[in-house]
């Protein structure tokens, strides 16, 4: 039987033959041409870079920042950029994010159409990763533009529809990746560089069939990450979904721990001796409470959105670049700079031109824009009471005021039920955010994310195309180790941190 896919009918028998002996690769410049790949990568990385720069320059709407951003990362509570630059950056992210969602859907549809023909595992893998990157970057852009969209719900509507369409396409596209034989470079004669390879097998062969090798254990992890990230970021855009999360997930855990802390702190105030008056139960509950608070606050922060986009970008880049290098000796047609490869790169100039035009126009109306932005800032809030909101924006004033100990605060605390809690930040939690221990735990979380992702990416880079990387195993070990390190660090801080006083 021939290894040439073009002249062969795709059946169960031919797929079985290719699984055993490999197939002959063919170029497809429309999917993985050098210009098409660079256009996708540049667009994604430019969008991420603009969001990252906006974050550190203080050009993010204050209503989108959380205690982690304000206290731990020390971001300014007021914009440092001019109104013209703020609007220009916002317009830039909007244009590039729209480009990401449209191109992501387009390339998914092109990949599915190709399944009726002879699109290979390599090219369909490229389709999946490009769409994955588009999805990840667009989620980050939506986070930055959250306040913009809340004031323009009609503008948000079609983008949500586009994201859900891309999500469905991605979920379907991930079906063939459940096979352990998916995306394997293997060829029957690797040393002599036999032209056949499993990368060239038609992707259609893997739909709903694992070929006796079982399910790839990393496949459920991909579905979990994709679905969770969509629920997480889209849910954050709507008050109703945030309300459900606070009352059904975060609220009950905090309520239970605060009841224990209140009871134990109240007992301590009635004891005659103050030495070692706080019980082990209080310290244990406080350890869990501050770690729980740090995890929830980090997940809600803008910094977490940046991490999510960064991880999606790096993962997608590895999955695209390394297979491309592995197949470099097959065919150089996909590296030729033809008309179809130059056009996608030239089209990237269009958003930049629109941004400069927007900036120039707004610069001429600088004073009017400044007044408009000032009025917008007055309307932005954390949905807090006036006292707690003032403390959030002026942490130094909070620290200068005489503060009771944390145990005294919990002893006098009226523990609110989940249904009575604010959607954002409770006033009695603000002192936690100014503590060194809280900042340290946040850094532990970010170090954990960096270390775990680096190990997973390194293993992916080494094993991609040869064996299943078992990422889920290393992620579970990493998460457990990171959580254990945070618990040990917090327990070691009991004698020194003001949180336990």
- Give residue limits of the domains in the chain: 13-500
Q: Coil, strand, or helix at residue 481?
A: helix
Q: Is 288 exposed, middle or buried (0-12, 13-18, 19+ CB in 10 A)?
A: middle
pTM given for the model: 0.82
> From the CB of residue 57, how many other CB atoms can be counted at a distance below 10 Å?
16
Distance CA 83, CA 80 (A): 9
Report pLDDT for 168.
Answer: 92
Place of tokens 């008056």: 277
CB 171 within 8 A of CB 226: yes
Report pLDDT for 156.
Answer: 79
Distance CA 454, CA 452 (A): 5
Contacts 24+ apart (CB under 8 A), 412-421: 413/258, 413/261, 413/262, 415/255, 415/258, 415/259, 415/262, 416/255, 417/251, 417/255, 418/246, 418/247, 418/248, 418/251, 418/252, 418/254, 418/255, 419/247, 419/251, 421/246, 421/247, 421/251, 421/254, 421/255
Cα distances (angstroms) measured from residue 346 to each of 29, 321, 340, 458: 17, 22, 11, 33
* pLDDT in 10s for each residue of the chain, 501 residues: 555 666 677 788 888 888 887 788 887 877 888 888 888 888 888 888 888 888 888 778 777 888 898 888 887 766 566 666 777 777 778 888 888 888 888 888 888 888 877 788 888 989 998 888 888 877 777 777 777 777 777 777 888 888 889 999 999 999 888 887 787 765 444 444 467 778 888 888 888 787 766 777 778 888 888 888 888 888 877 777 778 888 888 888 888 998 999 888 888 877 655 555 788 888 999 999 999 999 999 988 889 988 988 888 898 888 888 888 766 555 577 777 776 677 777 777 766 665 666 555 555 555 554 545 444 444 443 343 344 444 455 554 444 455 678 888 888 888 888 777 766 677 888 888 989 999 999 999 999 999 999 998 888 888 777 777 777 788 888 889 999 999 999 999 888 888 888
Place of tokens 């004033």: 397
| Angle of CA points 429, 249, 406, to nearest 5° | 20
> From the CB of residue 94, how many other CB atoms can be counted at a distance below 10 Å?
22
CB 51 within 8 A of CB 309: yes
Report pLDDT for 228.
Answer: 86
Cα distances (angstroms) measured from residue 307 to each of 139, 146, 219, 237: 11, 17, 22, 18
Report pLDDT for 272.
Answer: 52
Distance CA 487, CA 491 (A): 6
Report pLDDT for 398.
Answer: 47
Q: Which residues are bridge partners to 465 per DSSP?
A: 184
Q: Which of 237, 229, 96 is nearest to 171 (CA)?
A: 229
Report pLDDT for 440.
Answer: 93
Distance CA 330, CA 465 (A): 15
Report pLDDT for 352.
Answer: 64
């Amino acid at each position: 039987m021939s290894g040439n896919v073009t002249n062969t009918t795709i059946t169960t028998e031919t797929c079985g033959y290719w699984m055993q002996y490999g197939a002959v690769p063919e170029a497809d410049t429309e999917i993985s041409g050098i210009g098409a790949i660079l256009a996708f990568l540049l667009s994604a990385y430019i969008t991420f870079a603009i969001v990252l720069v906006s974050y550190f320059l203080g050009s993010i709407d204050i209503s989108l920042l959380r205690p982690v951003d304000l206290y731990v990362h020390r971001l300014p509570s007021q914009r440092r950029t001019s109104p013209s630059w703020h609007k220009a950056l916002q317009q830039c992210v909007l244009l590039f994010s729209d480009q990401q969602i449209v191109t992501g859907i387009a390339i998914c549809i092109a990949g599915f159409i190709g399944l009726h023909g002879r699109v290979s595992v390599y090219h369909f893998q490229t389709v999946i990763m490009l769409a994955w990157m588009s999805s990840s970057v667009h989620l980050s852009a939506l986070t930055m533009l959250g306040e913009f969209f809340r004031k323009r719900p009609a503008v948000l509507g079609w983008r949500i529809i586009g994201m859900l369409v891309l999500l469905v396409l991605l979920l379907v596209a991930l079906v063939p990746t459940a096979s352990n034989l998916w995306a394997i470079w293997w060829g029957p004669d690797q040393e002599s560089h036999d032209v056949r390879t499993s990368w060239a097998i038609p992707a259609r062969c893997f739909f709903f069939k694992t070929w006796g090798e079982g399910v790839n254990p990393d496949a459920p992890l991909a579905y979990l990450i994709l679905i969770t990230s969509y629920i997480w970021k889209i849910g954050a855009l709507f008050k109703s979904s945030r309300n459900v999360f606070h009352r059904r997930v975060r609220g009950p855990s905090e309520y239970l721990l605060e009841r224990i802390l209140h009871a134990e702190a109240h007992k301590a105030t009635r004891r005659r001796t103050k030495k070692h008056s706080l019980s082990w139960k209080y310290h244990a509950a406080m350890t869990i409470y501050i770690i729980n608070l740090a995890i929830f606050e980090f997940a809600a922060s803008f910094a977490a959105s940046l991490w999510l986009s960064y991880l999606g970008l790096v993962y997608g880049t590895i999955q695209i670049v390394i297979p491309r290098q592995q197949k470099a000796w097959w065919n150089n047609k996909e590296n030729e700079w033809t008309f179809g490869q130059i056009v996608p790169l030239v089209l990237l100039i269009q958003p930049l031109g629109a941004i400069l035009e927007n900036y120039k126009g707004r610069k001429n109306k600088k004073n009017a824009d400044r007044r408009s932005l000032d009025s917008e800032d007055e309307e932005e809030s954390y949905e807090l009471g006036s006292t707690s909101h003032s403390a959030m924006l002026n942490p130094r004033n909070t620290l200068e005021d005489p503060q009771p100990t944390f145990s005294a605060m919990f002893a006098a605390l009226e523990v609110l039920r989940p249904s009575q809690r604010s959607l954002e930040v409770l006033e009695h939690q603000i002192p936690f955010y100014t503590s060194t221990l809280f900042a340290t735990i946040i850094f532990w979380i970010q170090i954990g994310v960096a270390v775990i992702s680096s190990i997973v990416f390194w293993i992916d880079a080494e094993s991609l195309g040869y064996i299943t990387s078992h990422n889920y195993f290393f992620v579970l070990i990493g998460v457990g180790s990171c959580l254990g390190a945070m618990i040990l660090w917090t327990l070691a801080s009991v004698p020194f941190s003001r949180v336990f006083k």
